[in-house]
């Protein structure tokens, strides 16, 4: 069913795209989003995605929703004219792109949760069906009434980094903005954070850690 949907989606996209453009699907390394949203209200989701080596790329987050989940399958429209990808360009692709996608409003007659899902890199050695796999990053609580905007759920690939005074931060893989690394709330819980897929939430604490109050609370890693 999902394969049929994706095929129809791409057929529609290709039918509406510019005549000299191709579709370049990309994958999501990191995603964070409001932990709670109001029913029917679209919400902004941060995405750290692959870069592309192409002329004039135009980004589309590929967001869709059904009765149980919001799914991002992002892609770029790129010019069909090819360019030579040098080592420098390839290194910039690895850095990735820190962007955002707008999730559609979700129905909820009473408070309920939806999964948050996104296309992720596959294992080349795995014996899986063709196409880009989709992974569950976490969930969002949809409120029939007002929603608490104080916390953002977050998940994805991270690298741990320790500064000169021993403070540990997690940096979403591919995100190199100065403010991208997040201070880990529990500075004793640092094992297994090298290129790990983590789930947790981002919030502002009343008690500083490493001199900062904007923290990442780790829930799981694998």
Q: Looking at the structure, tell me whether residues 26 and 106 fall in a common domain.
A: yes
| Total domains present in the chain | 2
Q: Looking at the structure, tell me whether residues 99 and 23 fall in a common domain.
A: yes
Q: Looking at the structure, tell me whether residues 72 and 167 fall in a common domain.
A: no
Query: For residues 77 and 57, is the Cβ–Cβ distance under 8 A?
Result: yes
pLDDT score of 220 more than 90: yes
pLDDT tens per residue across span 1-44: 444 434 434 433 434 455 567 899 999 999 999 999 999 999 99
pLDDT of residue 106: 98
Considering only 18-22, 133-137, 196-200, which range has the smallest mean pLDDT?
Answer: 18-22
Q: Looking at the structure, tell me whether residues 6 and 104 fall in a common domain.
A: yes
pLDDT of residue 126: 52
> Tokens 């995603």 label which residue?
31
Between 16 and 146, residue with greater pLDDT = 146
Q: Looking at the structure, tell me whether residues 96 and 174 fall in a common domain.
A: no
Between 189 and 123, residue with greater pLDDT = 189
Q: Looking at the structure, tell me whether residues 114 and 25 fall in a common domain.
A: yes
Percent of the chain with pLDDT over 90: 68
Q: Looking at the structure, tell me whether residues 113 and 164 fall in a common domain.
A: no
> Tokens 């390394």 label which residue?
29
pTM, 2 dp: 0.84
Q: Looking at the structure, tell me whether residues 13 and 120 fall in a common domain.
A: yes
Residue 187's domain spans which residues?
152-221
Query: For residues 22 and 72, is the Cβ–Cβ distance under 8 A?
Result: no
CATH number at residue 179: 2.40.50
Backbone angles phi, psi at 166, to 5 degrees: 90, 10
pLDDT tens per residue across span 101-119: 999 999 999 999 999 999 9
pLDDT of residue 156: 97
Q: Looking at the structure, tell me whether residues 23 and 119 fall in a common domain.
A: yes
């Amino acid at each position: 069913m999902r394969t049929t949907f994706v095929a129809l989606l791409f057929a529609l996209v290709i039918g509406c795209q510019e005549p000299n453009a191709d579709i370049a699907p990309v994958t999501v390394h990191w995603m964070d989003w409001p932990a709670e949203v109001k029913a029917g209200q679209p919400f902004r989701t941060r995405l750290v995605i692959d870069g592309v080596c192409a002329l004039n790329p135009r980004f589309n987050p590929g967001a869709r929703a059904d009765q149980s989940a919001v799914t991002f399958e992002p892609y770029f429209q790129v010019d069909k004219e090819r360019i030579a990808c040098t080592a420098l360009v390839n290194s910039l692709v690895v850095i990735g792109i820190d962007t955002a996608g707008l999730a559609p409003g979700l129905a909820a007659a009473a408070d309920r949760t939806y999964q948050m899902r996104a296309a992720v890199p596959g294992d080349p050695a795995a014996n899986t069906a063709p196409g880009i796999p989709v992974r569950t990053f976490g969930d969002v609580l949809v409120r029939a009434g007002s929603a608490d905007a104080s916390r953002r759920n977050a998940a994805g690939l991270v690298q741990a980094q320790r500064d000169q005074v021993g403070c540990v931060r997690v940096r979403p893989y591919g995100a190199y903005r100065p403010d991208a690394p997040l201070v880990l709330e529990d500075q004793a819980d640092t094992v297994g954070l090298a290129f790990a897929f983590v789930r947790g939430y981002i919030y502002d604490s009343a008690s500083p850690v490493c001199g900062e109050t904007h923290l990442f609370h780790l829930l799981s890693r694998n």
